[in-house]
Amino acid sequence: MLVWLLLSVSNGSMVLTFLSHSRFYENPRYIMFVSMVINDALQLSLVTALYVVSYVFRRIHASVCCVLIMMAVLTTRSTPLILAGMALERYVSICFPLHCGHMVTVRHTLLLIILILFLTAAPPVTDLLITAVHQPASFFHTRIFCDHPLLFRHRSIYYKNCVFDSVYLTFVALTLLYTYCRIMLTARAASTGLASAQRARNTVLLHGGQLLLCMLAFVVPSLQAALISLFPRFSLEIRYVFFLLVYIIPRFMSPVIYGFRDELFRKYWTRYLACRGHRTVRVRPVLLKGSQ
């Protein structure tokens, strides 16, 4: 809970810093960044809530669990696609600097974010539809241990999600690899702007590290289920360890990549944290005695 509180304060301060300056919310690069921050904050809050619920209540209504699980799945699956979008923005700005102004715009960025939300919402919605078809309506009024396999039990859901995750994670991995290679070649061939190309290359490389950590979220459930079946007495401890590895540690990456590495954002962010931002001074008129 302390880690969640720390990251929530950090993410909240970054969002407020973003909203306080027009140069950020008029820049597609920072719009993608703040969408990642908000997505990370929502995901961390949801999975923390699920984890606390599993300890305190053990069993909750299936309908409440359904809402929490679907939102957690949506935010978890959004992260790799947002990473791909951020890598593409860096690729266009470095490799096509003359066309970047009309290719990467605020409108195009918002459309991309909407497309990402649509794609990531499709799997949990289909999970719900399949469950509604194969389970009686009374199932959603029962009390269950809130876990994805226990809520969405039909076998077809497992195979469908395996196919979906394989396809879109492969797409994201290839996108990051392609953009990294092209930026690296541009950095080697460029006679000017070499430092910015190298910085963009390092950023895409860090995105690749984020992707590897995100992929743990799709591998861990099977490994966790196997370990729990072997050591049922330590089920909560096993869930706790995987919770830290999969959901807590990767959430530190976004503040590091942009909050600290980006000089412009770091300047305004540290000013906000130090409470040295611009303050509004209210002037109250005073009536002088001589003018009465």
Ordered by start, the domain boundaries in the chain are: 2-274
Provide the pLDDT for residue 281. Answer: 44
Residue written as tokens 């909050």? Answer: 259
144 has which bridge partners? 60
Strand (E) or helix (H) holding 202? helix 194-230
User: Which tens digits make up the pLDDT trace of 224-237?
Assistant: 777 888 888 887 78
Q: How many CA atoms lie within 13 A of 241 on its CB side?
A: 9
Domain 2-274, CATH: 1.20.1070.10
Provide the pLDDT for residue 291. Answer: 46
Alpha helices by DSSP H, 20-105: 22-25, 28-56, 62-95, 100-103
Structure tokens at 232: 């049922």
pTM of the model: 0.80
Vertex 271, ends 265 and 272: CA angle to 5°?
A: 90
User: Which tens digits make up the pLDDT trace of 90-139?
Assistant: 888 877 877 777 888 888 899 999 999 998 998 899 999 999 888 888 88
Segments in the chain below pLDDT 50: 277-278, 280-286, 288, 290-292
If we measure between CA atoms, which residue out of 166, 160, 133, 137 comes closest to residue 148? 160
Provide the pLDDT for residue 14. Answer: 87
Provide the pLDDT for residue 283. Answer: 43
Provide the pLDDT for residue 125. Answer: 92
Strand (E) or helix (H) holding 6? helix 2-19
